[in-house]
Amino acid sequence: MEIIKACDKVFLEKYTLDISYDFDALTKLTGKNIKLIERKDVESYSFLPLSEEKDKKTNKNVALLVFGDPLIATTHTELLLEAKQRGLETRIIHNISILNVISRTGLQPYKFGKIASIPFWQENIEYRPCGFYNLLEQNQKIGAHTLFLLDLNPIDNKYLSPGLAIEMLIKCEMLKKKQIINEDTLFIVCSRLCSNTEKIVVGKYNKIKSIGFGLPPHCIIIPSPPHFKEQ
């Protein structure tokens, strides 16, 4: 909080994760005129100073606020590289992320494999990319749990629901026929982890599809055979 107060300009980016918060309370707490920016602003680096050499007199301390850990999203990693190329000094304040809180499920973090993102499939296009399904297969071969992060587009108010994401996994199974998902597959759906409205549901698809999970963020876990302590 002290670092935010010390900055001349403060921006808040909400594309990579959009959760409920009191914006007015945040501005009062920091005493700053916080500007909301979209993904295109972050990707165009429009809020970054040009360079330390050119703008020594006008350079100001700039803060970009994001939800979760800032370097989990590749967008923010690229932003950091751009700042370094411009000769700008950077400082990263790490925060809690999904990787820290998946232990809320009772599963042990060190038993997780590669993380997969399930993107929206484009409408009116027959091609259905199943990279996330392939990654599930890789993790299952080594006995690792698989964490799926679900796509979101806050600008258009679009959020991939857990039910639809599981349907996509099932469709990939029908296409690939690797026999890694069936009617007995166990899914763990996590919604708004570590918030006051946290919801964790464990069940097969027939149970999951009829449940309303409410507002995002959501993620899905397909567990490998559990350790006896996890069980």
pLDDT digits (tens, 9 = 90+) for 50-84: 655 445 555 678 999 988 888 887 778 888 999 88
Q: Quickly state the pLDDT bin for 191 (edges 50, 70, 90).
A: very high
Domains and CATH numbers, the chain: 2-85 (3.40.1010.10), 98-222 (3.30.950.10)
Q: Quickly state the pLDDT bin for 162 (edges 50, 70, 90).
A: very high
pLDDT for 67: 82
* Binding residue numbers: 69, 72, 97-98, 150, 193, 218
Q: Quickly state the pLDDT bin for 18 (edges 50, 70, 90).
A: low
* Binding residue numbers for S-adenosyl-L-methionine: 69, 72, 97-98, 150, 193, 218
pLDDT for 56: 54
pLDDT > 70: percent of the chain: 92
Q: Is the pLDDT of residue 129 over 70?
A: yes
Determine the Cα–Cα distance for residues 176 and 178; give it in Å rounded to an integer.
6
pLDDT for 92: 92
Q: What is the mean pLDDT of the segment spanning 76-95?
A: 89
pTM of the model: 0.84
Least Cα distance to 45 among 68, 73, 11 occurs for 11
Say how many CA atoms lie within 13 Å of 42 toward its Cβ: 24
pLDDT for 230: 78
